[in-house]
Amino acid sequence: MAHAPKHINLGLQGGGAHGAFSWGVLDCLLEHGGLTFDGISGASAGSMNAAVLAYGLARGGNQGARDALSEFWTKTSEAARLSPIQPSLIDRWISVGNMDFSPSWLWFDNLSRTFSPYQFNPWNYNPLERVLTDVVDFDWLAEQCEHDVVKLFLSATNVKTGKIRVFKGKDISAKAVLASACLPFLFHTVEIDDEAYWDGGYMGNPPIYPLIYNTASKDVLIIQINPINIEEVPRSAQEIYDRVNELSFNSSLMRELRAIAFVTKLIDQGHLDGDRYKRLNIHMVEAEQDLAALNVSSKLNADRAFLDWLFDLGRRRAGDWLDRNYDRVGVDSTVQIEAFL
């Protein structure tokens, strides 16, 4: 006898092309059909996945979401074929996704460290804008969000105040997604309502608190892209740069997880009323060991073969997680959140 799907919230991290890992995870979860997503929170590439997922779910249920995500990543890889930044033959031989020996990547990396996007990209060309609007009808999606058909939360960083902005409801738009994914070394600042925004990953990657206050579910599944743990201390300049990138894009999530762990401990010890304060169950799908072998250059590598590798990796990790942990959803955490204290 089939059981009703379990309710859970989703938190989708950003990480450029590594978002294809989340695509694979989501595809597996949607195919499984045992989970219903109460709320979806995303940052950067996680916002793109979140918006496409929410649109697909509202349009056509789980299969509609799978189709929309597949269309988005297919169009992303097609747009990337026109990019001057491509992995070299040596890169393809020795790495699944890094572009360490790509002349175009090395040239662009140096260019972006010397000149701002206002100089090397004066027209502010962003191929993902066209991809997004081709896949998602944002006016229709905003209407669905305003009426809580889907609960979607997209984070961006206010450049002037340093505060997080969470777009939701009628404020959901293609521009909000682009603001959430605005890496300031690549694109012009995105302005919305006379405010300037950069990538949401700086202040919430992804933010968990909108899911706490705006949904009934006590379970949050985080799809982690940026490795928290690594095995060796970085030595080379590139390794150090990569680790700084990972730390900066994990810092806000770590702070929220520490707060959640602290509140959970107080509830379990009887110091806080469990009926008044929400006791969260935290879950995580990750592939730290595999993704730690990839550096920053791979986050701009949207070559179809690499995206397919990430997609397959995501599906495998999600399948493993479901096999081990599905019965614990709604019961307790499958991540040792005490480790974040």
pLDDT of residue 249: 84
Yes or no: say if 315 and 27 are a contact pair by the CB < 8 Å rule.
yes
Give CA angle at 294 (70, 200), nearest 5°. Answer: 65
Question: What is the pTM assigned to this prediction?
Answer: 0.95
Comparing CA positions, the residue from 19, 5, 10, 14 lying closest to residue 215 is 10
- Digit-coded pLDDT (tens) for 268-305: 889 898 778 889 999 999 999 999 999 999 999 999 99
What CA dihedral angle connects 92, 80, 200 and 133, to 10 degrees? -150
For the chain, the average pLDDT equals 93
Q: Cα separation of 60 and 144, whole Å? A: 13
Q: How many CB atoms lie within 10 A of CB 189?
A: 16
Q: Cα separation of 155 and 266, whole Å? A: 28
Lowest-confidence region among 13-22, 39-48, 69-78, 230-239 = 230-239
- 224 has a pLDDT exceeding 50: yes
Helical H segments across the chain, by residue range: 19-32, 45-80, 89-94, 103-114, 117-120, 127-135, 138-146, 174-180, 209-214, 237-268, 288-292, 304-325
pLDDT of residue 1: 36
Yes or no: say if 117 and 184 are a contact pair by the CB < 8 Å rule.
yes
pLDDT of residue 197: 98
Tokens standing for residue 101: 């020996």
Q: Cα separation of 219 and 37, whole Å? A: 10
- Digit-coded pLDDT (tens) for 107-134: 999 998 899 999 999 999 999 999 999 9
Q: Cα separation of 242 and 236, whole Å? A: 10
> Tokens 């379970």 map to which residue?
219
Lowest-confidence region among 75-79, 223-227, 233-237 = 233-237
206 upstream amide cis, omega within 30 of 0: yes
Yes or no: say if 69 and 52 are a contact pair by the CB < 8 Å rule.
yes
Question: Roughly how many angstroms between the first and final C-alpha of the chain, as a whole number?
Answer: 41
